[in-house]
C-alpha cells in the first residue's frame, strides 16, 4: 500500500476491535507494514499476563512505550540515605541528580518538611437569583451537604482524612451568576482525584435536590444550574519545602573559588526570580528531577506540572520556584513546591515497575514521597545552575549526549571507548562525533 502521509480514513468501532485487528489497521499506514508490526511486537511483553496488565491501563493499547529507569544513590534526606528511582529519557538528568546527591551528602544533606496537605475541588454553579437567599440556603444546609457524602468519605475519615471545609464563594463580579462550592480535602496517602471528584458530584446532586425543597427560593431559584464538579490541580496549600545549606567557604576546593561560585549562583537564581524567560528554563530544570520521580512512582505528571507552573505564577509574574541566599557566610538554597501525589491509588499498586520503585524508596507515605520528589527537583536545579555558572551547561550535557550520538551512528564497543577518550578533551557535537567515527573507520 502507498503511504498516505498522515491522512488516514475515519474508522468506526475501533475500540471494539481485537488487539490484532487494531494492529493490522494502524500498521497499514506504514510504508512497510510487517516491519511496523515487528516494532510493536518487539516492545510487547512475551509474558501474556504481564502484557494484559499493561493493555488494561488504557484504551487501544498496541504495545508498550519504554522510558529508561535510572537510580540516583546517596541522597541524604532528613538524616536518612535513600536511592531515588527516576524514569526519564533526557541523558544528563540521573547523572546530575547523583552528582548533586553526593555533593550534599558530605554537607549535611537535604532538609525537607511538609507545609500543608490540603487538596481543593469545586462545584461550579450558576445561580441567577437573590445572592443573600443563596447564602442563607447554603448556611442552613451546609451540614446536610457534608452529611450526604458520608458513604463516600467513610473510609477516608477512618484514616484521618475527608472533607475539611466547604464554603460558598461569590464569583459574580467575574462572571454573571457564577458561584462555587469551594471544598477542601485531606486525602491522606492518595493523590485523591477520584475521591475528590466523587465527593463533589455527590455535593452537586445534594445541592440541587435541597434547593428544590427550599421554600424561600422562587421557582426559578430552585433550579440551581451545576456547570461542573471537578478537583483543581492548583494546590497552593499542599506544599513541601526542601533546602540545603553550608558555609560558603566549603562549597568548592578553595575559599576564593567558593565565594565567587556562591555569589554567581545567587545572582543566577535572582535572575530567574525576575526574568520569566530564564524562570521557565530554570523551573524546567527543577521539573527534570520532579517528573522523573513522579513517573517512576506512578503519579500523574500532568497534574503535577499544571499545579507547579500555576504556583510559579501565583504572584502575577512567572518566577523561579527556588531561592538562594548568602547570610552570615552561609549559603542557603531552597525550593517550595505544590505536590499532589499518592502512594496508594492510581497506578501505584498495579504497575510492577512502580511497585518496585516504591519498595526501593522504602514504601514512603504520600508526605515522604512529596519530600523525595522535591529533593530530586532541588538536586537537579543545583546541578544545572552549578554547571551554568561554572563550566557552562554543554560540557556535562554533551558528554552524556555523546553516548546517544554514538548509538545513533551505530558505534561498536571499541569505537565508543575511543570516542569517550577523545572527547574528554574535545568539544562534542554531532559533526565532531561523525568525523571521529569516519576517521576511525577509515583506518
Contacting ligand NAD (CB under 6 A), which of 97, 123, 125, 191? 191
Tell me whether residue 195 or residue 331 sits nearer to ligand NAD (CB atom): 195
Give Cα 206 distance to the centre of its chain: 34
Residue nearest to ligand NAD (CB): 345
Residue 434 binds ligand NAD (CB under 6 A): no
CB of 323 to ligand NAD, least distance (A): 28
Site string for ligand NAD, 101-140 (x = CB under 6 A): ----------------------------------------
Residue 403 CB, shortest distance to ligand NAD, in Å, is 33
Nearer to ligand NAD, 342 or 396 (CB): 342
Pairing of strands 162-170, 178-186: antiparallel
Q: Which of 300, 358, 371, 387 is the binder for ligand NAD (CB under 6 A)?
A: 300
Stretch that binds ligand NAD, among 108-116, 176-184, 258-266, 337-345 (CB under 6 A): 337-345
Radius of gyration of the chain (CA): 27
Decide whether 186 or 258 has the Cβ nearer to ligand NAD.
186
Is 303 among the residues that bind ligand NAD (CB under 6 A)?
A: yes
Separation CA 372–CA 367 (nearest Å): 9
Decide: is 162 part of the binding site for ligand NAD (CB under 6 A).
Answer: no
- Give the range of 15-23, 190-198, 264-272, 421-429 binding ligand NAD by CB under 6 A: 190-198
Binding mask 199-238 for ligand NAD (x = CB under 6 A): --------------------------------x-x-----
Which residues have C-beta within 8 Å of that of residue 317, sequence separation ≥ 6?
276
Q: Return the range that interacts with ligand NAD (CB under 6 A); candidates 135-143, 154-162, 317-325, 415-423.
A: 154-162
Residue 195 interacts with ligand NAD (CB under 6 A)?
yes
Nearest to 188 by CA among 366, 370, 355, 340: 366
Catalytic residue status for 300: yes
Q: Is 189 in the site for ligand NAD (CB under 6 A)?
A: yes
Question: Does 164 sit near ligand NAD (CB under 6 A)?
Answer: no
Annotated catalytic residue, options 19, 29, 54, 90: 90
Three-class secondary structure assignment of the chain: CCCCCCCCCCCCCHHHCCHHHHHHHHHCCCCCHHHHHHHHHHCCCCCHHHHHHHHCCCCCCCCCCCCCEEEEEEEEECCEEEEEEEECCCCCHHHHHHHHHHHHHCCCCEEEEECCCCEEEEEEEECCCCHHHHHHHHHHHHHHHHHCCHHHHHHHHHCCCEEEEEEEEECCCCCCCEEEEEEEEECCCECCHHHHHHHHHHHHHHHHHHHHCCCCCCCCCCCCEEEEEEEECCCCCCEEEEEEEEEHHHCCCCHHHHHHHHHHHHHHHHHHHHCHHHHHHHHHHHHHHHHHHHHHCCCCHHHHHHHHHHHHCCCCCCCCCEEEEEECCEEEEEEEEECCCCCECCCCCCCHHHHHHHHHCCCCCHHHHHHHHHHHHHHHHHHHHHHHHCCCHHHHHHHHHHHHHHHHCCCCHHHHHHHHHHCCCCCCCHHHHHHHHHHHHHC
* C-alpha torsion sign, points 368, 372, 378, 381: negative
CB of 49 to ligand NAD, least distance (A): 21
The verdict on 377 binding ligand NAD (CB under 6 A) reads no
Query: Judged by CB under 6 A, which stretch of 166-174, 178-186, 192-200, 250-258 contacts ligand NAD?
Result: 192-200
285 binds ligand NAD (CB under 6 A): no
Report the residue from 285, 345, 377, 396 that binds ligand NAD according to the rule CB under 6 A: 345
Closer Cβ to ligand NAD, 104 or 367, answer by number: 367
Q: 196 or 248: whose CB is closer to ligand NAD? A: 196
The size of the interface with ligand NAD (CB under 6 A), counted in residues, is 20
CA distance 437 to 431: 10
Q: Based on the residue annotation, tell me whether 124 is a catalytic residue of this protein.
A: no
Our finding on whether 166 is near ligand NAD (CB under 6 A) is no
Least separation, in Å, of the C-beta of 155 and ligand NAD? 5
Our finding on whether 181 is near ligand NAD (CB under 6 A) is no
Q: Is 155 in the site for ligand NAD (CB under 6 A)?
A: yes
Q: List interacting residues with ligand NAD (CB under 6 A).
A: 155-156, 159, 187-195, 231, 233, 300, 303, 342, 344-346
Q: Which residues are designated catalytic?
A: 90, 284, 300, 397
Amino acid at each position: 500500500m502507498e503511504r498516505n502521509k498522515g491522512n488516514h480514513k475515519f474508522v468506526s468501532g475501533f475500540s471494539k476491535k481485537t488487539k490484532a485487528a487494531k494492529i493490522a489497521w494502524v500498521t497499514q499506514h506504514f510504508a512497510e507494514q510487517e516491519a511496523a508490526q515487528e516494532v510493536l511486537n518487539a516492545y510487547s511483553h512475551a509474558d501474556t499476563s504481564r502484557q494484559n496488565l499493561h493493555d488494561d491501563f488504557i484504551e487501544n493499547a498496541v504495545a508498550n512505550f519504554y522510558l529508561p529507569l535510572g537510580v540516583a544513590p546517596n541522597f541524604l534526606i532528613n538524616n536518612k540515605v535513600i536511592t531515588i528511582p527516576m524514569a526519564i529519557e533526557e541523558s544528563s538528568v540521573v547523572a546530575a541528580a547523583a552528582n548533586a546527591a553526593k555533593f550534599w551528602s558530605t554537607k549535611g544533606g537535604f532538609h525537607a518538611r511538609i507545609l500543608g496537605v490540603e487538596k481543593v475541588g469545586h462545584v461550579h454553579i450558576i445561580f441567577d437569583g437573590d445572592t443573600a437567599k443563596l447564602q442563607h440556603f447554603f448556611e442552613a444546609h451546609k451540614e446536610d451537604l457534608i452529611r450526604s457524602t458520608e458513604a463516600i468519605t467513610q473510609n477516608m475519615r477512618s484514616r484521618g482524612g475527608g472533607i475539611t471545609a466547604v464554603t460558598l464563594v461569590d464569583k459574580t463580579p467575574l462572571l454573571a451568576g457564577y458561584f462555587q462550592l469551594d471544598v477542601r480535602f485531606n486525602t491522606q496517602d492518595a493523590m485523591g482525584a477520584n475521591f475528590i471528584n466523587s465527593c463533589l458530584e455527590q455535593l452537586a446532586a445534594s445541592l440541587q435536590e435541597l434547593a428544590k425543597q427550599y421554600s424561600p427560593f422562587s421557582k426559578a431559584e430552585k433550579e440551581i444550574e451545576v456547570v461542573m464538579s471537578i478537583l483543581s490541580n492548583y494546590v497552593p496549600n499542599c506544599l513541601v519545602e526542601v533546602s540545603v545549606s553550608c558555609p560558603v567557604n566549603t562549597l568548592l576546593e578553595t575559599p576564593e573559588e567558593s565565594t565567587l561560585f556562591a555569589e554567581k549562583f545567587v545572582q543566577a537564581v535572582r535572575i530567574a526570580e525576575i526574568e520569566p524567560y530564564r524562570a521557565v528554563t530554570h523551573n524546567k530544570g527543577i521539573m527534570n528531577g520532579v517528573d522523573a520521580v513522579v513517573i517512576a512512582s506512578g503519579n500523574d505528571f500532568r497534574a503535577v506540572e499544571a499545579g507547579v507552573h500555576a504556583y510559579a505564577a501565583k504572584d502575577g509574574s512567572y518566577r523561579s520556584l527556588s531561592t538562594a541566599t548568602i547570610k552570615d557566610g552561609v549559603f542557603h538554597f531552597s525550593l517550595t513546591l505544590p505536590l499532589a501525589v499518592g502512594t496508594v491509588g492510581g497506578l501505584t499498586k498495579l504497575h510492577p515497575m512502580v511497585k518496585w520503585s516504591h519498595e526501593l524508596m522504602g514504601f514512603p507515605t504520600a508526605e515522604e514521597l512529596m519530600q523525595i520528589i522535591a529533593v530530586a527537583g532541588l538536586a537537579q536545579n543545583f546541578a544545572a545552575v552549578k554547571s551554568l555558572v561554572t563550566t557552562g551547561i554543554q560540557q556535562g550535557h554533551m558528554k552524556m549526549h555523546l553516548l546517544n550520538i554514538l548509538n545513533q551512528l551505530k558505534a561498536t564497543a571499541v569505537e565508543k571507548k575511543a570516542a569517550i577518550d577523545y572527547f574528554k578533551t574535545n568539544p562534542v557535537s554531532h559533526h565532531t562525533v561523525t568525523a571521529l567515527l569516519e576517521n576511525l573507520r577509515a583506518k
